[in-house]
Amino acid sequence: MKKTAMLLTIIIIASCLAGCAGSRNTAVYETPGYSITMPDNFEAETVEGAESCFDGRNQMLVVYKETFEELAVVGLSEVSDIDEYVSLVLRSNGMVQSDLKTRGDYDFITYTAEVDGKDHFFLTTMRKGWDGFYMFTFIGNADDRSSLEESFLEYADTITMKEGQPLEGTAGYLRHTSWYSL
């Protein structure tokens, strides 16, 4: 009887440890315009011209925002939809509609480019916010493209655009909440 109880205890502990080993620590990164869930090793950085930037050692997210006021010169406004903005971005970057891929309820583009002598993989998705259009660009080593693409898409799946004015007294990054996910 003692051997059976001990064996069951070992199996339960092993199961718990195996379950914990498969989990990874994630965090919700919140800004006045959006929130996103990514691994908790990302740290806020400053990139000139970017709305926000998060560096996760071998991965990075750079977010650019173009306000409706800025986009008025090209005929876009609050009443413009995301498809109009995406078309503008594609044309401006020498891309065509067929470069666009769809996942769930959003579109994205992928490409590789050399930066500082190294090949990088980029995945970009765009969203409409209350104050303009946002371009989320995930960046990683081109050699890791296959694994990075799925990770980047998982992060993009969690983007939530906020409505209305930013909370009073907030600037930059509001909250960074960690939890364990399976």
CATH fold of the domain at 26-162: Protein Transport Mog1p; Chain A (3.40.1000)
- 63, 29 contact by CB (below 8 A): no
- 46, 175 contact by CB (below 8 A): no
> What's the confidence (pLDDT) of residue 33?
94
Once rounded to an integer, what is the mean pLDDT over residues 135-149? 96
Going from N- to C-terminal start, the domains of the chain cover: 26-162
Going by their DSSP bridges, the two strands 52-55 and 118-128 should be labelled as: unpaired
DSSP H helices, 56-178, are: 68-71, 82-92, 145-157
> What's the confidence (pLDDT) of residue 2?
40
Tell me the pLDDT tens digit for each residue of 95-108.
988 889 999 999 99
Q: What is the pTM of this model?
A: 0.77
Number of Cβ within a 10 Å radius of residue 84 = 17
Residue 158 has pLDDT above 60, yes or no: yes
